[in-house]
Amino acid sequence: MSHSLTQPAFGKVYLVGAGPGDPGLLTLKAKGLLEHADVVIHDALVSPPILGMICEHTRIIDAGKRRGRHSMAQEDITQLLIEQAKANAVVVRLKGGDPFVFGRGGEEMMGLLEAGIDVEVVPGITAGIAASAYAGIPVTHRDYSSSVTFVTGHEAAGKYRPQVNWSALAQGSETIVIYMGVHNLVNIVSELMAAGMGPDTPVALVRWGTRPEQEELIGTLTNIVRQVEETQFQAPAIAIIGRVVNLYEVLAPVSPMHSPHWSAVQA
C-alpha cells in the first residue's frame, strides 16, 4: 500500500483596509476578520480604536513605516506575510485607508501569489474621500467640479514611475487630492502655478482626517506654504486643491467632526 505525502495547506492573507481612523468607518467584514485573525500585521496609520478591536489572543505585529524611520522594508513585510501564512490559518495585513490606494497592497498581493499564498482584498475607505468629507469639502460638485484626481505627493527616485505630471494635472483635473504631499508642498505648488493654475486657487490641508485630533488649514496656492510654515502644520495630511474648497466655509460647520455626537462615537 503506497502513501502519498501532501504539503500542508497554507493559511490565507487578507489585505484589509482599516479606513482613515474613525472606527465607525471600518467595514463589517474587516471587523469580523480582526475578531478571528491568528495574526494581525498593521501599519503606522491604523488608529488605536481599530487596533483595540483585535481579539486579545491574536498576535499583533507592528510593521509601520513613517517618514524618516521605517521599521521594516517593504520586501521584509512581504516576506513576513509569507512566513506567517505558512504557520497560521488567518493572517490580516491591516492597512490605513484602502490597500490599493497608495497602500502598496498590489505589490504585497503579487508577492504573496508568487509564493503560492491565497490572498483576499478587503477594501477600506480611503482618506482622500473621508478626510475631505469630514472637513466639509465634497471632492465633486455639479457646480464646481466634475472630475477628481488622486495623486501621491511623496515621490522618490526609483520608487514611483512615471513621475507625476503636475502640468497635465493643472490643466486636466478640476479637483486634485494629494496624499503624502506636505513635505513636498513647495515643489507641488510651484509646479502647478508654473503650469498655469491660478495663484488664488483654493487649497485645503486636512491632518489626521476623521480622528478626534483632525485639523484643517485653508488657503490658496499663493499662501498655503507660508501658512504651513507659520503654523508648523505637520503630516500625515492630505491636500485638496480646487474650487470645491470654497464650500468649506458653508459645509464645515455641519460636517461630521463638528457634530455634537461625533466625539462620543469616537470614544
For the annotated catalytic residues, the residue numbers are 43, 65, 180
Check if the beta carbon of residue 208 is closer than 8 Å to that of residue 215.
yes
Q: SS3 helix, strand, coil % of the chain, rounded to 5?
A: 35, 25, 40
Residue 60, phi-psi category: left (phi > 0), alpha (psi -120 to 50), beta (remainder): beta
DSSP 218-243: EEETTTHHHHHHHHT--SSEEEEEEG
Q: Is 138 helix (H, G, I), strand (E, B) or coil?
A: coil
Buried b (16+ CB within 10 A) or exposed e, 168-206: ebbeebbbbbbbbbbebbeebbebbbeeebeeebbbbbb
Task: Report the chain's C-alpha Rg in angstroms.
Answer: 20
**CA separation for the pair 76, 99 (Å, rounded):** 17
**CA separation for the pair 234, 142 (Å, rounded):** 32
**CA separation for the pair 219, 200 (Å, rounded):** 9
Cβ-based neighbours of 109, under 8 Å, separated by 6 or more? 15, 119, 121
How many Cα atoms occupy the beta-carbon half-sphere of 46 within 13 Å? Answer: 29
